[in-house]
Every structure is written in structure tokens, then in C-alpha cells.
Amino acid sequence: MIVGKNIHKSFGDLEVLKGVDLHVKPQEVVVLVGVSGSGKSTLLRCFNFLEMINSGEITIDGHTINPKKEDLAKIRAEVGMVFQHFNLFPHKSVLENVIEAPITVKKMKKEEAKKLGMNLLRKVGLEDKADVYPSKLSGGQKQRVAIARSLAMEPKVMLFDEPTSALDPELVGEVLQVMKQLAEEGMTMVVVTHEMKFAKEVADRIIMIDQGTIIESADPKNFFENPQNERTKQFIQLVE
Amino acid sequence: MPEIFVTVFDVFMRTYPGFLEASVITLELTAIGVVLGTVIGLIFALMKISGSKILRGIANVYITVIRGTPLIVQIMFLYFGIVEIYTMSNFWAGAIALGVHNGAYIAEIFRGAIQGIDPGQREASLSLGMNRKQTMQRIVFPQALRRSIPPLGNQFIITLKDSSLVYIIGVAEIFSLANREAAQSYQAFESFLVVALYYLVLVMIFTFLLRLYENKLDVDKA
């Protein structure tokens, strides 16, 4: 579904990604872990072209993308992204947040979009908040709205960039629950997270990134019980 | 009652028909200055944040020159400079000068507000498949506009008071009336006190309306 080949990305002199290869299969849930600064978030942002790679190749759904020539908006519409800080639109109500892109980008009729929006809000358990503004929501509710907003574009793959890192501990569960449900429905997902319990339960594969390269890639059982790389072992000890 | 109140009151009663008429001109000057300034400000703000070096350069020159020279010089320049080439009334010369002057300040207000919006807003919008133009129009600018309202209100009040400077090219707004009244009646103190009160009342009305509008926006957002 998403294939990254030999991805290099630098910010000035700092090389953040040093030739990353990643192949995410349809309906696969891949969890990216690593210490902060390892490049995992940058990799995620490269997949929907919020960051431009310096070299390498990104293929989405069989289509290799040339970011210089193509309409990036069209590509981004197929790749949903959920951010650490939610980034809901504060000047729009919850429902308006969800239906903004279908109306603006897909030119969907307002009535139709509203129906879709309400369905998605029901799915994340927030249909009663449709007319509320984001400032009135808790962090967990905000993130669930952000997920619904992303789903409204019917993306082929969803990227999650530390979706629970900005939440109070008691609000993490409700967001993970929604993500788990998505995974069960067969959504292709790439998730950067520190929630190891989630990784164990939901991931098909856990990938450890360290200093801009992938150093471990295994199913959860092998990742936690039989890590190959020394730094992965250290990391697991640290988080367990 | 002290003598001074009596004479001020006399001047007020004698001059209010003229002042009411001149107030209309002051308000017209302000309105044109504000509207023109907002349009110019928006254009130059967008130029200043654009990817084009040339557009940014033009915007920088405009803002630097306008902010770096006094309004009264700009009024005289426009009046004597432009009227040579293109005939226009002194009213319009003054109103355009106010607009051009304001445009530079308002451009900076808009630019600051646009650049002050959390980059995450832009990223979220782009990630949903909205293009740059849609992102600006639907996500960034509406939020920037809200944030611009308090400084814009301030700028509008400055425009109202600055409109007094066009008296120099003979536009019959309230300050020029006060000036003439002072010269004719030798009651300078009273005349300028009266005109000061007119400005004060106008600014207070303006401030009140702005506050109503700001409160309305807050209620919308809550």
C-alpha cells in the first residue's frame, strides 16, 4: 500500500533519515517506535509529503510519486494523517471540521457530507458534540474528532503521529480504542507511538528506527521477546 | 457657572450645524481610508508572504517608504504630485492618501496575524487534501482575520484622527472647520476644545461598535 525505498531526508546538515526502506501491505498495521529524534515522525511526514524527501522513492497504492510534477493535494487526500496536537480547526464546529475537506476537495453536497460526518462522529462516539466548537472538548475528544475528520476523505492509509502523546493518561484509552477498531475494520495504518500495550495488541509489525535507519522489524511477539539488535533490547528494557 | 463653560457652550451652539456637516466628511474620509487601506493591506500582506521574491520586494519597498515618511508629506505629495497628472478633488486626494498610508500598517497587521497561525493548522488542512489556496482561504485566513480585529480597530481609530491632517489641502472636515472658527472668532481655545470633543465622541462610538463586534466573534467561537 505504501512503499518507501531508500528514503533520505536532511534538515540542513542534519541527516534525519539515512536510507529507509519500508513496505506497508494493505490492511497492515505498522507501529514505528524509537527514541525521540530517531526520525520516526519525519518518516511519517514524508509519506504524505508534509516533508519532501531528498532522495529515494515513495509509492502509494502502486503509484510511484514524483512530488515535483504531481498534484500533492490529490495524493494527500488519499493518505490520512492524525497529529499529536490534533490541529482541529478552532473556527469551525466539530461537524464542520469533519465535512470541510469532503465539501471543499471532493465537492460533496452539504447534505450528503453532513450525513457522512454524523456517521463518522457516531463511529468515534461523539455525535452529540457535532455542533460544539473544539475549544469545548477534552484532548481525547479532540483526537477522536481529528480521526473522524481524516476518515471523511476515505483515505487508503492512515498515518498517526504520536496521537496520544499530548493526552492526559486517563484520556489515552478512548483514542486507542478508536484506533483499534479501525485496525480491526482493515484500515492500513502506520502509527508512531510510545504506547507499547497498543503495539503489542494491535500491530502486525513493529519497526524500530534508530538514528535514521530501521534496525528492527518484527511481529510484536518476536519484537518484544526476541529482539536482534542491541539498541532494540535497550529500548524495550526502557519502556517495559 | 465659570465663564469658560459659557463661552465653550456658546461656540458649540454656534458651530454645531457646521460641525455636523463636517463630521460627515470626516467619517467619509475615515471610511474610504479604512476600506482602501484594508484592501491594499490585504494585497501587500499576501505579497509579503508569497513565494515570489519580486512580489516580496515590492511589498517591502512600499511598506518601508510609507512607514518611513510622515502622513502629512504623503498627503501633500499625492495632492500636488498626482493632481498634476490626473485631476481629482482635494477630498479624493486626501482619502486616497489615508488609504495608501493605512495600507502599509494594515499589511503588517494581516501579515503578522497570518504568520501567527499555528503551522499545524496549515499541515492539517494540507493533509486532508486541500490545496494551498483552499488552505489559505478556508483555514488560515479566517483565523487570521479574527486575530486582526483588535489591531485593525486600533488602526481604524488612528485613521479617524489622522483624517484631520487633510485640512492641509483644504478638505472641509472637522479640524479645518475648527481651525477656521478659531481664526475668525479669536476663540482658539474654545474652538479646539469643541473639536477635540467631537473626535473623542466619534472615537468612543467607534470603540463601542468594535467591542460589540469582538464580543460577537467570541460568542460565535465559544
- pLDDT tens readout for residues A212-239: 999 999 999 999 998 888 999 998 888 8
**Mean pLDDT (chain A, rounded):** 92
The predicted structure's pLDDT at residue A127: 92
Q: Say if the Cβ atoms of B146 and A104 lie within 8 Å.
A: no
Q: Are strands A29-33 and A205-210 parallel, antiparallel or unpaired?
A: parallel
Tell me the per-residue pLDDT of A159-175, one tens digit each, with 9 for 90 and over: 999 999 999 988 999 99
CATH topology of domain B3-221: MetI-like fold (1.10.3720)
How many other β-carbons are positioned within 10 Å of the β-carbon of residue B28? Answer: 15
ipTM: 0.92
The predicted structure's pLDDT at residue A240: 73
Rounded Cα distance, A155 and A177, in Å: 19
pTM, 2 dp: 0.85
Q: Say if the Cβ atoms of B222 and A83 lie within 8 Å.
A: no
The answer to whether the beta carbons of residues A45 and A51 sit under 8 Å apart is: yes
| Mean pLDDT of the A37-56 span | 91
Question: Maximum CA pair distance of chain B?
Answer: 73
Tell me the per-residue pLDDT of A112-129, one tens digit each, with 9 for 90 and over: 999 999 999 999 999 999
| Mean pLDDT of the B166-190 span | 89
Q: Say if the Cβ atoms of A90 and B143 lie within 8 Å.
A: yes
- Residues of chain A numbered 33-62 and touching chain B (CB < 8 Å): 48, 50
pLDDT at B219 over 70: no
* From A29-43, B75-89, B91-105, B179-193, the region with the lowest mean pLDDT: B75-89
pLDDT at B82 over 80: no
The predicted structure's pLDDT at residue A118: 96
Which CATH superfamily includes the segment(s) A1-237?
P-loop containing nucleotide triphosphate hydrolases (3.40.50.300)
Nearest CA-CA distance, residue A192 and chain B, Å: 17
Tell me the per-residue pLDDT of A19-44, one tens digit each, with 9 for 90 and over: 899 999 999 999 999 888 888 999 99
| Mean pLDDT of the B81-108 span | 89
* DSSP assignment letter at B165: G
What are the boundaries of each domain within chain A?
Answer: 1-237
Tell me the per-residue pLDDT of B161-174, one tens digit each, with 9 for 90 and over: 999 999 999 888 89
- CB-based contacts of A91, cutoff 8 Å, min separation 6: B142, B143, B146, B221
* DSSP assignment letter at B187: -
At residue B108 the predicted structure's pLDDT band, cuts being 50, 70 and 90, is very high
**Mean pLDDT (chain B, rounded):** 90
Tell me the per-residue pLDDT of B35-80, one tens digit each, with 9 for 90 and over: 999 999 999 999 999 889 999 999 999 999 999 999 999 999 988 8
Q: Say if the Cβ atoms of B221 and A133 lie within 8 Å.
A: yes
The predicted structure's pLDDT at residue B221: 55
| Mean pLDDT of the B9-25 span | 87
